[in-house]
Amino acid sequence: MASLLDQLRTLSAVDLAAKLGPFTDCTSNQAGAIAFAELSKLGSDGKPLHGKLISESIQLAHWLFGKQTDATLEELAVELMMVDLSVQIAPYTTGYLHVQTNPKLSYSAQQTVKNAERLVSHFRQLAPGLDTGRVCIKIPATWEGLQACRELEKTGIATLATTLFSLEQTALAAHAGCRYIAPYVNELRVHFDPSYTDASPSLPLCGAAQHYLSSKPGNKTYVLAASLTSVEQVMQLAGIHHITISPPLLAELAATAAATWPGAAEVGQVLKTTKTTTAATATPAPAPGGSGGCGNGASTLGSLPGVYATTTNQLGAETQRMMLEAAVSDEALWRMAFTRAEGGAGEVKLVQAINIFADVQHRLEDMARRADGGVAAGG
């Protein structure tokens, strides 16, 4: 009997874990659920499960450290660990291997470009036989981060705009030529605070972004929905280009028969209910149980002062599209548009996500620092 996972695969590309593979893409970043948690695992002997990977990453980081001036020893070690984890998963995927840049560089285009280029070079060093065309660099969707994406795409390095919470970020990512955008359905906080629930999940934004991108001639940017917390959310997003799913949700999808699942009517509802991203005559339907906010998928460029004083719902689709297109070429206009989007909710969620990623980056660097002491003592 076909499972929900079988049904989903007929509608969307499914990304992430090897256990139920093969999968299209896999991701490795500073989010504790993926990188820190994996590297922190202990074996039956009480020693780090990935002790060999960690020690070898530190040894290689020492060798590389003296050959560059852009990263600390600990930052290099963390990069190498992330890349090595991706290399191990590569046999279970057919598409891109996603690795995220250092979140502490989120507001520097130049340093982010250097970080991304270094990550690609790590792949070449750790897996000489791997086609680096399969590497996709995940970069937080700040103005600076998306300018870095623009430069990297020009050199042939694929990029993904992550921590995306608005159409303003979507439009700029497409203008930069990003290969993917990753709208976060739930705030990143939900994965770190068990008592917290996102009251306004951004399900409709995923659909609105896909409609917007699909309507652009020559578009090469695709939606990769991320930060999902339930089977219901996953199935509502069926039809979105790509969906990143955690191992627990994958297992639940694989174990649930599609024919008897009570939520069958919800399958693919996001794309069915959202209109084109710039459609102003009808606001996209809010997510089930949600209360609007950043999750309603509508642009608020129309709330800007002066010429942009008209409210979003009074603007025609073409006018809204023109506003989005104008903002992507004007840093000040884009920053204000993003700040004003949904009353600032998107910007708040972006800053929160970068803070969480930066905190985990520090924890990973601390892990490398402690392990380096053990490597030195053992050597």
Per DSSP, 295 falls in state G
DSSP lists the bridge partners of residue 159 as 137
φ, ψ of residue 358 to 5 degrees: the values are -65, -40
Cα separation, 114 vs 138, in Å, equals 13
Which position among 41, 52, 138, 272 bears the catalytic label? 138
User: CA neighbours within 13 Å on the CB side: how many for 186?
Assistant: 20
Helix, coil or strand: residue 97: strand
Catalytic site residue 220? no
* Residue located via tokens 């070429």: 329
Cα separation, 60 vs 223, in Å, equals 35
Give Cα separations from 223 to 52, 205, 243, 324 (angstroms): 36, 10, 8, 18
Cα separation, 325 vs 322, in Å, equals 5
Peptide bond into 22 cis (omega under 30): yes
Residue type, 344: G
Q: What are the residue numbers of the active site? A: 138
